[in-house]
Amino acid sequence: MKYIKMTDIFGVQYRQQISLDEKVQKSALSGICSLIVLGASFGYFLYIMNLWWSSKILPNSTSIMKVENYSQILYNEDDLFEFSYWKYTNGQIDPFRLQRNILTPIGIYFINGIPQKPFSLLDEKPTISPYNTSLQRVDNLSLIQNSGYDTTLNQTTELMILITACNSTLLKSQYECASDSEIQDFFEQSVNYISFWLNLKQYDPHSQKFQVVKKQYYLTLDSQISHQGQLILTQTQATIDTGILFGNYEQKSYIYNAQLITSATNIHFFSTLLVESAYLSLLIRLDPISNDTQIVYPKLGAILAQVGSIMSILMTIQYVLRYYNEQLLDSDFIDKVLGFYFQDYSEVKQSKDQADSKICKDLIEKAKKKLVYTNVIYELSRIQLFLLYHYGRNQLFQAHQYAINVKEEMKSSKCCLAFDNFITGPRGDGNREQIEQHFERDDFNLLCRGKININKNNEDAVRVYQDVGNASLKSSKN
């Protein structure tokens, strides 16, 4: 049981009361400051918790560049990119129309550098672009980069988009190409641009969702020059931890940036490949350099630590207030103790005379030494030795048998007189018949000041002293 008690971390320390129902020195100044500090701390706690709960506290994000010998990306539901003809006047014709088609967008996959079968990108049910023209896209886009040339993995897959004159072999039977004159008029009547949108993704830490950011490019169309471009896509591998106490990880791969490199060449550059003139070509491929991003939302422990650090700063005022209360307690306690010994102490303390101030200062210094705990024990030891010297060991030992009967009636004065005789009896008279002594209930507060009037206590003390003296005389005569 002893060792079990030693492990108790909930033990409390006994604190002697300073006065009735008061164990700690407190002051109005400390109370006001406590309310201010506690109110500010609690308000800041609610403020931080609200920010944390609404995800307004930004997570810790770490991003490093790394080289991957193999990576791939597949778009089944979303579209990585879209493009349309930029129609800036009502007189312009959409060249990607299905009937009397002027320009045909063609897609060609290159697997390990080898071109595959071309396919048309014309959509029979196209979406309307912001320029009121048909919006083209690539369905089920798949890109692979295998820069390590690992034969056990899929080979590098790239996509080339070419804008050519209408290719009847890639059109369905119900559609037809425009005449050569219409195609010529198209290039002569206006400045022609292809608006290309790349749908990048960025992570929004507030909503904890991915947002699409449209990055727009303008590519020119010319009847004499073919413009070439390489669109190098940079991929991000994101690991997101949204756990409150423990890790809750989510991994996501997406394209977050791209680099466009352009050049110009002859329109017949791809004629051997397509047997057609290409006004624009765009090669889309993955970059072997990618980003590895770690996004970690603050845990509850980190938030509480942040709140605690601010609260600790606010509570630094606690030291000043405690020091103030300690000084107030010491001053009040010393004044009370000196008042017990010196009746005119309060008058001397309030006096403006320099001599009185010096006396008061000297008394305070002596009182501080007197109130040292070891000095209190020393004075108690002197009292014990004094009683032992004058009354003997036997009579002091019998003091352990003294007690107060709570319900017993008041005893006669004879008994009290016998008690006085016992107290004033000669030292070492161990053979004298001992009379059973009795303490009354009021004796419990005999030396306790409590609410008893000080003057009355002094009068009672004088009377008791006189009674003891008379009893001592009677004992001596006997």
DSSP string, 192-230: EEEEEEEEEEEEETTTTEEEEEEEEEEEEE-SSEEEEEE
Q: pLDDT for 154-181, tens place per residue?
A: 999 999 998 988 878 888 777 888 888 8
pLDDT tens digit sequence for 120-152: 888 878 889 999 999 998 888 899 999 888 888
Q: Which residue has the higher pLDDT, 167 or 381?
A: 381
**Residue 202, helix vs strand vs coil:** strand
What pLDDT is attached to residue 51?
83
Residues near 351 by beta carbon (within 8 Å), at least 6 away in sequence: 357, 360
What is the predicted pLDDT for the residue at 407? 63
pLDDT higher than 80, residue 426: no
Residue 233, pLDDT score? 92
Of 373-377, 387-391, 400-404, the range with the lowest mean pLDDT is 400-404
Task: Decide if pLDDT at 344 tops 50.
Answer: yes
Among candidate residues 255, 248, 246, the one with its CA nearest the CA of residue 203: 255
Residue 13 in this model has a pLDDT that exceeds 80: no
How far apart CA 375 and CA 373 sit, in angstroms, is 5
Amino acid at 69: N
Please state, in angstroms and rounded to a whole number, the distance separating the CA atoms of residues 355 and 361.
10
> Residue 50 has which token pair?
């609200």
Q: Which of the listed ranges 87-91, 157-161, 395-399 does the model predict with the highest average pLDDT?
A: 157-161
Q: Which ranges in 94-202 belong to alpha helices (H)?
A: 180-189
What residues are paired with 283 via a beta bridge?
160, 230
Distance (Å, rounded) from C-alpha 194 to C-alpha 217? 8
Torsion over CA: 295, 301, 304, 306 (sign): negative
User: Of the ranges 24-38, 359-373, 431-445, which one carries the lowest mean pLDDT score?
Assistant: 431-445
Q: Is the pLDDT of residue 463 over 60?
A: no
Q: Name the residue among 9, 144, 180 with its Cα closest to residue 69.
A: 144
Of 139, 150, 26, 163, the C-alpha closest to 74 is 139
Identify the sign of the CA torsion 282, 285, 288, 291: positive
- As to burial, measured by CB atoms within 10 angstroms (0-12 exposed, 13-18 middle, 19+ buried), residue 80 is buried
Residue 85 banded pLDDT, cuts 50, 70, 90: very high
Residue with tokens 């630094």: 316
Give the pLDDT band of residue 275 (cuts 50, 70, 90).
low
With a cut of 80, say whether residue 447 has pLDDT above it: no
- CA dist., res. 427 & res. 393, Å (int): 9
Share of the chain above pLDDT 90, in %: 10
Across 43-138, where does the E strand assignment appear? 60-67, 70-75, 81-85, 103-111, 114-115, 119-120, 127-128, 134-137
Dihedral sign computed on CA atoms, order 116, 122, 128, 129: positive
Pick from 171, 154, 59: nearest CA to 104: 171
Q: Which residue has the tokens 């002594």?
A: 437
Structure confidence at residue 231 as a pLDDT band (50, 70, 90): very high
**Least confident window among 60-69, 314-323, 379-388:** 314-323
- The pLDDT score that the predictor gives to residue 468 is 42
Q: What is the mean pLDDT of residues 425-449?
A: 48
- Do residues 208 and 242 lie in contact, with contact meaning Cβ atoms separated by under 8 Å? yes
The pLDDT score that the predictor gives to residue 109 is 93
pLDDT (0 to 100) of residue 430: 44
Percentage of the chain with pLDDT > 70?
79
Whether the Cβ atoms of residue 111 and residue 143 lie closer than 8 Å to each other: no
- Evaluate the CA torsion angle 427, 433, 439, 440 in order and state its sign: negative
Name beta bridge partners: 110.
Answer: 115, 158
Please give the average per-residue pLDDT across 250-275, as a whole number: 82
Average pLDDT score over residue span 73-101: 88
Higher pLDDT, 77 or 210: 210
Condensed to tens digits (0 to 9), the pLDDT of residues 218-230 reads: 998 888 888 889 9
Q: What is the mean pLDDT of the chain?
A: 78
DSSP strand pairing (225-241 vs 289-296): parallel
Give the N- to C-terminal CA distance of the chain in Å, as an integer: 57
Q: Smallest Cα–Cα separation from 196: which of 125, 253, 267, 121?
A: 121
Whether the per-residue pLDDT at 14 is higher than 60: the answer is no
Most confident among 8-22, 162-176, 460-474 (mean pLDDT)? 162-176
CA atoms within 13 A of residue 159's CA, in its CB half-sphere = 24
The torsion angle over the Cα atoms of residues 49, 53, 58 and 60, rounded to 10 degrees, is 90
For 206-218, how does the pLDDT look when each residue is reduced to its tens digit (9 = 90+)?
Answer: 888 888 889 999 9
Mean pLDDT of 441-449: 51
Give the β-pairing of 114-115 and 119-120.
unpaired
pLDDT > 70? residue 444 = no
Place of tokens 């050519």: 164
**C-alpha–C-alpha distance, residues 103 and 196, integer Å:** 16
The per-residue pLDDT for 64 is: 86
Least confident of 201-210, 317-326, 335-344: 317-326
Query: What is the amino acid identity at position 138?
Result: V
210-224, 268-282, 386-400, 440-454: segment of lowest average pLDDT: 440-454
Owner of token pair 């088609």: 101
